[in-house]
Structures are given as structure tokens and as C-alpha cells.
Amino acid sequence: MRRATEVMYRSYSLTRAGGPGACVPASICNHAATSLAAGIGVDVFEHNRRAWNRQSTSGECRWSEPVAPTVTRAAARGDWSLILTPTRAVPRDWFGDVRGARVLCLASGGGQQAPVLAAAGARVTSFDASEEQLAKDTLVAERDGLALATVRGDMADLSCFAAGAFDLIFHPVSNVFARDVVSVWQECHRVLSPGGRLLSGFMNPDFFLFDHDAIEQGAALEAKFPLPFSDIEDLPAGQREARIAAGEPMEFSHSLDTQIGGQLAAGFVIAGFYEDRWDDQATPLNALMPTSMATLAIRTAESARSAAPPG
């Protein structure tokens, strides 16, 4: 199935690293009880957590393949790059100097981004919904002697972290699995220090105009669904129930108003932007349009002051 899931990499997990080579088992960030999706009796967060656990252990998910020791050794020498979207490397100047920086890898488990940033000298916490994805980060950290903390939880609820706890958040394409992306941006703003950076990847909303199940069966490329799209509200009941029964993650498209406008409303300044394509094998839409995009957002000192409580 050529759905957005194949473009994603997600994870949540926290651990306080005691020093070089220290790796603490994942703790759990309290997750407020989620209301069941209307009419279908599914807790989306828990369903997607289990779905990603299955994908992570399947041996078939690109975003669950831990990096090799050669990658972390190169990162320790300053030779590294990361992706927020399927193929295009993030500009290095988006990161600033990561040495000693407090970095939150948000919904980014899988043994890929977090270990590379830790090897590059950052003080990394990997936060993800899937304990299996977090376990991949722990595996690489223990294998390569890296200090890495992991925490499991909901990307829209970072209440286990103090305000201003991080200098940089690395958030690759993953909010497609969150029903409420505005809360994600608000929480990111809260836990970043003034001047902190939020690096985010997300799907092109237009990707969700199309029925990718039907396209795989040879149907024409034609718009079918309204935007913003929701697997819960917009899929025909039989198709939705089959997806749930198969353990596939539930997806939500979001609008540019909530993706980019939501960051601005949360108090960020957008300082960088690019689009990315996938490949023709992944989706025929690749020949027609970029399928994902990325932003660099800065929490300014002014927005930090305006967000502070009175008194």
C-alpha cells in the first residue's frame, strides 16, 4: 500500500543520560485519556502505537532500520546528514551547532536520527509513541557507546518536559498520525528555549486528495476526498474497518493553515522552507508534484515573553 505511512518515521521516548555511554530504559510520559474516535470506538493514539510497533518489528519498514556503526563514527567526526522528508537532506545551517545542544527527536524513533545527533555531540532525548521504535534508538546507543535518553508518549502532550527544556526539536514527517497538529506546535513552542529551533517535515496535504488503494489497483489519478482528510471521517466504512483490522496506522492530512499557520500562531517565526519528492515507485504522484515539505521555525525571545504568564 502506497500510503503516507511509507514516508514516515516516528517515535517517542525519554531517558536522562548519566554520561557518555549511558543509556536509560524508556520512561513513559503521562498520556491523558484520549476520547474514542467518533462512532468507531478506536483510540487513535493507542491504535497507531500498536501499528507502529508491528511495522517496527516487521523487518520491512525503511524507517525502522538502525544506522550502521560506520554512520555514528562518521557523525562523531562531524560528517553527518539527516532527512526530515523522504529524500532531501536538511541544510546543515538549519541545525546550528549541535555540540552540547539539548535536542528532542520528536516522533523520530527507529535508530536513525537520534543516534546520529548524539554521536555528533548533542544531548539527545528521543520521544516516540512506539516502544519498539524507541528500542531501536536504545540498541544503537548501547552498541556504539552513546548517551541517549528515551521517552514514550503522545507528540501532542509533552507535559513531562519543563518549559524551555530543549534548544532544538527534530520532527520528521510524522504528524500525519496526529489528529490535532495545533497542539503539537504549541507543545513544541513551550518546551523550546528562546532562540530554539524546530525542524519539521510533513506531507503535502494534496497527497490525500487521492484514493491510493484504488490507484494501486489501476484506477485513474483523480481527486476523491475532501481536505483536510481523515481516515476516521472520510474513508468509506468498509475501507476504514479493513484498515483498522489490518493494523494499519490511521492518517490525517492537516491543512497548510494548521501546518504552517499553526506554527506561526504558536509563536514561531518561519526561517526556512523546502519541498521534497518521493520516487515514482512509491507513488505516481511523484511525477506530478512534491509529496512533502519541511520548515525551520525559530522561537524568538519576543514570543517567549508573550507566552509567559502574567505576574
Angle between helices 131-144 and 44-57 (to 10 degrees): 40
In 3D space, the residue among 128, 3, 144, 143 whose CA is nearest the CA of residue 53 turns out to be 128
Contact 175, 155 (CB under 8 A): yes
Domain of residue 302, residue span: 4-307
Per-residue model confidence (pLDDT) at position 218: 87
Taking 50 as the threshold, does the pLDDT of residue 10 lie above it? no
Cis before 228? omega within 30: yes
pLDDT 10s digits, 20-68:
233 344 678 865 544 466 556 789 999 999 999 999 999 888 889 999 9
Q: How distant is the alpha carbon of residue 188 from its chain centre?
A: 12
Q: Which residue has the higher pLDDT, 19 or 83?
A: 83
Mean pLDDT, the chain, rounded, equals 88
Quote the pTM value: 0.89
Q: 254: domain CATH number? A: 3.40.50.150
pLDDT of residue 205: 97
Q: What's the per-residue H, E or C state across 33-75?
A: CCCCCCCCCCCHHHHHHHHHHHHHHCCCCHHHCCCCHHHHHHH
Q: For the chain, report the end-to-end CA distance as a whole number of angstroms.
A: 54
SS3 296: strand
pLDDT of 248 strictly over 60: yes
pLDDT for 282 equals: 84
Which has more pLDDT, 283 or 20? 283
Q: Is the dihedral of CA 68, 72, 77, 80 positive or negative?
A: positive
Task: State residue 210's pLDDT score.
Answer: 95
pLDDT of residue 39: 57
The total domain count for the chain is: 1
